[in-house]
Structure 1
């Protein structure tokens, strides 16, 4: 009787302990893959929900759909989850699925290099220590590297100056003169929280945002009880949220004029709450709605209308020790400066240096713009799988749905690797190019290509962030791994 060769289960390193890394780990563990380690640069899980602790931090996707499908939470306090509650949910998942032994905190990655002679990834941490694994899964997200404004004199400012994603809770802003640079998704949430506490707030706006009312409210106790008592109702509620959100995809990707309904609603809200004609003139965008991220808030416009809030649309020239000076020479004296200038979303995996076959770095492979097969795999980087990679972001639905599609795809890839012990999967260049061309073609008629400048576009003006269609089409595209899309490489043998 022939003895069956032992099954090889690849050793795995996951970079990042946010929604992507934790969900991937739970998926692996549930499938019997226990040989994995999650490397996290900080001292806790949570990713963006750990880092963004600014006042008013909350999600703009409904609570029941901004959670794993396999781990429903029945007692969400609100229709749209708050930062602290979302972080608590993630910590709960770590405890329930016993991920603690797999987590390695304070482990920031400096470099990852693929060894062709061993088909192994070697990861070097910033403290100089090294780890090796067969498979490397990146779950660093797109919103983890703060984008700082490039303004002369920032280092000379005498008072507190910080980014909203690194909020300085030791600074008491009550009755202070505060400057806020930027009017994006974070500022939309923390400016209303500050407006009634500070003496004055100078809000420096480069371009206005389209802001819609947020259909948010606390869940009543009987609603939470119903979700708990009838899991099918919780499931149905989540299902209804999905299709309500999903119906908006056509407006973003094909029939942009449908978004004008929302533009009229935003204008109506602005006219309803903002009575200052000068502010009203500058608070309504001049670009097509949807070209940049649409924001939702119920207190943004009332905050703008406050007499102690100044809306400044002049370009900042420099920062002096005691304030901000615009290009017209006007000086705004302030005691503190907060940068609500978003993230370097298109700089995927930055600042980690990733080196694949033949010594090629990911930066070199992406010199013309980030691209990945199904947003997950890149030619020349075998056994590297990315979560929330290029062109997998959404403007209309929950990224958790996209992540769960990727979890399934990566798990299927690992199952394929089990069948070919010692091999490494490298996506074929022609398959990657064909997929990238399809994505970019699909983005041509989208609202994101209507002429504005946004964080969806990289330095070359190419949209490397958003998915150009429905999330169910992505789920279908990633339902399984077609091994014909890959070369299976063995150590010491040519591709």
Structure 2
């Protein structure tokens, strides 16, 4: 490592991606630091603290393959349990000395002569510091920057405003007039709790969700004990869960008709709880299941059927000091307005102000299209790696599987760079267009583009730039045996 470089590797973010990358770096003996803008690790599971927050992927699959957890309390873990799991990993692998909390990356600029990244990092007091990194791994995630709808006059609203990803844990909804915008995954989890506490709850729905019944049994002590004493049983259970997820991918990418049985189950779930025909009509999706992320809940539909809950399908036109008015002229007086409106999937990268070769900025390069190679590397940005980057999200199984594959690729590329005595590695620019065309061709047949809905999976031109249009196994195989000729290794570590 050059004397002018502070760390071989800087990892930005401390969720699953950042923690996993840090463990791999430590196992390989690399000098690294993890920059985290918050006061604790956790990423998504630290930030999302709304009532009812939990994972919609089975617990035993939503964990590192090398660090299985026999102590999950039920089939789908709560946010608190997942955060505790990540905290355990930090302590077990002794990552605390490498963590720098209250550190926000404000700017990143590549130095071609040094083959390193100059980072401007601000602390809690807004004081800027400089850091030079031989390589950077971005684990900032897509579920990070809240997306807020544009509502005229919202600045006049005198009540409480919050996004589900920025929940005020000290807030109370008891007896209040509450409005919630959105009916996606977060809303489906939060609405039953809000309905129970609020004096009046208004759900502002643009598009109804497909909500399947949730099979979420608690794990008895005897089973937890068996998993602890016989890890192979836990591994077998994990393999079964993974196989079940892999079966579903065909319904999303090739044959949406395969999801008809699940659609019927979701409708039956709704009909069993909602008897009012008008409310049923509002809650019946008119698009193919999977076009938006399907959700699971046994309490969502009963909550919407409560006497103190109204489902409003007319869009919000404007806000005032005391509430909001919808396009049909109805005014709702509100004490609290909650946005469950998803995330800006590229916002986390845009705020880093990344400048690569030739003065190109990532924000500019990605303003018209997002070009990456397997979501991990981008042309023109040497020694920069994305974890859970574009086109690597999943709608059918655990993203932790994708994260581990990406960590493996990054580790191999850095090892190969060092083995060759080079100082920089990046994907060859001429390789990427064909790769992106292949992703577009595969996505064109998917339910995400043909399912008849508008979702945050797609960019402004209707192209999938969030999800991997294939199986996890296919992705893992491609990254486990990378074609090294697809990458440029440049510079000399001894020159």
Counterpart of 2:56 in structure 1 is 60
Shift of 1:180: 0.7
Instruction: Give yes or no for the alignment of 1:121 onto 2:121.
Output: no
The CA deviation string for residues 330-357 of structure 1, in whole angstroms up to 9 with x for no partner, is 1111111111111112445131111111
The CA deviation string for residues 437-473 of structure 1, in whole angstroms up to 9 with x for no partner, is 1111111101011131101011222210010111000
Shift of 1:491: 7.2
Counterparts of 1:255 and 1:422, CA distance in 2: 45
Shift of 1:364: 2.2
Matches within 5 A, 1:341-490: 341-347=341-347, 349-450=349-450, 451-490=452-491
Asked if the contact 2:145–2:348 (Cα under 8 Å) also holds between the matched residues in 1, the reply is no
Counterparts of 1:458 and 1:124, CA distance in 2: 29
Instruction: Give yes or no for the alignment of 1:78 onto 2:74.
Output: yes
The CA deviation string for residues 150-169 of structure 1, in whole angstroms up to 9 with x for no partner, is 11121111111111111112
Instruction: Give yes or no for the alignment of 1:157 onto 2:157.
Output: yes
Asked if the contact 2:458–2:464 (Cα under 8 Å) also holds between the matched residues in 1, the reply is yes
Counterpart of 2:242 in structure 1 is 242
Counterpart of 2:205 in structure 1 is 205
Counterparts of 1:321 and 1:276, CA distance in 2: 33
Query: SS of 1:122's equivalent?
Result: strand
Compare 162-171 and 93-102 and name the one that shifted more.
Answer: 162-171
Counterpart of 2:36 in structure 1 is 40
Counterpart of 1:139 in structure 2 is 139
The CA deviation string for residues 409-455 of structure 1, in whole angstroms up to 9 with x for no partner, is 01101111111335201211121122111111111101011131101
Q: TM-score, normalised by structure 1?
A: 0.96
Unaligned 5+ runs, structure 2: none
The CA deviation string for residues 23-75 of structure 1, in whole angstroms up to 9 with x for no partner, is 01101111222x00001111110001000011110000000000001111101
Asked if the contact 2:350–2:362 (Cα under 8 Å) also holds between the matched residues in 1, the reply is no
Shift of 1:196: 1.5
Unaligned 5+ runs, structure 1: 1-7
Query: SS of 2:318's equivalent?
Result: strand
Counterparts of 1:346 and 1:217, CA distance in 2: 36
Shift of 1:170: 2.4
Matches within 5 A, 1:161-172: 161-172=161-172
The CA deviation string for residues 230-249 of structure 1, in whole angstroms up to 9 with x for no partner, is 11001100010000111001
Asked if the contact 2:253–2:445 (Cα under 8 Å) also holds between the matched residues in 1, the reply is yes
Counterpart of 1:23 in structure 2 is 20
Shift of 1:10: 7.3
Counterparts of 1:350 and 1:220, CA distance in 2: 45
Counterparts of 1:230 and 1:48, CA distance in 2: 31
Asked if the contact 1:371–1:464 (Cα under 8 Å) also holds between the matched residues in 2, the reply is no
Counterparts of 1:345 and 1:134, CA distance in 2: 26
Asked if the contact 1:412–1:480 (Cα under 8 Å) also holds between the matched residues in 2, the reply is no
Counterparts of 1:491 and 1:348, CA distance in 2: 32
Counterparts of 2:173 and 2:6, CA distance in 1: 53
Q: CA RMSD in A?
A: 1.5
Shift of 1:184: 1.0
Counterpart of 1:175 in structure 2 is 175
Matches within 5 A, 1:175-324: 175-324=175-324
Counterparts of 1:367 and 1:118, CA distance in 2: 28
Query: SS of 1:130's equivalent?
Result: strand
Instruction: Give yes or no for the alignment of 1:334 onto 2:330.
Output: no
Compare 19-28 and 337-346 and name the one that shifted more.
Answer: 337-346
Query: SS of 1:131's equivalent?
Result: strand
Query: SS of 2:437's equivalent?
Result: helix
Counterparts of 1:394 and 1:371, CA distance in 2: 18
Counterparts of 1:342 and 1:332, CA distance in 2: 23
Query: SS of 2:55's equivalent?
Result: strand
Instruction: Give yes or no for the alignment of 1:12 onto 2:9.
Output: yes
Shift of 1:287: 0.9
Counterpart of 2:83 in structure 1 is 87
Counterparts of 2:224 and 2:299, CA distance in 1: 26
Shift of 1:102: 0.6
Q: TM-score, normalised by structure 2?
A: 0.96
Query: SS of 1:228's equivalent?
Result: helix
Query: SS of 2:110's equivalent?
Result: strand
The count of aligned residue pairs is 484
Counterparts of 2:397 and 2:68, CA distance in 1: 17
Asked if the contact 1:62–1:81 (Cα under 8 Å) also holds between the matched residues in 2, the reply is yes
Counterparts of 1:346 and 1:286, CA distance in 2: 28
Query: SS of 1:425's equivalent?
Result: strand
Counterpart of 2:108 in structure 1 is 112
Asked if the contact 1:357–1:381 (Cα under 8 Å) also holds between the matched residues in 2, the reply is yes
Asked if the contact 1:162–1:339 (Cα under 8 Å) also holds between the matched residues in 2, the reply is yes
Q: Go from structure 1 to structure 2 and tell me whether the alpha carbon gap of 1:409 and 1:305 turns closer, same or farther (over 3 Å shift).
A: same
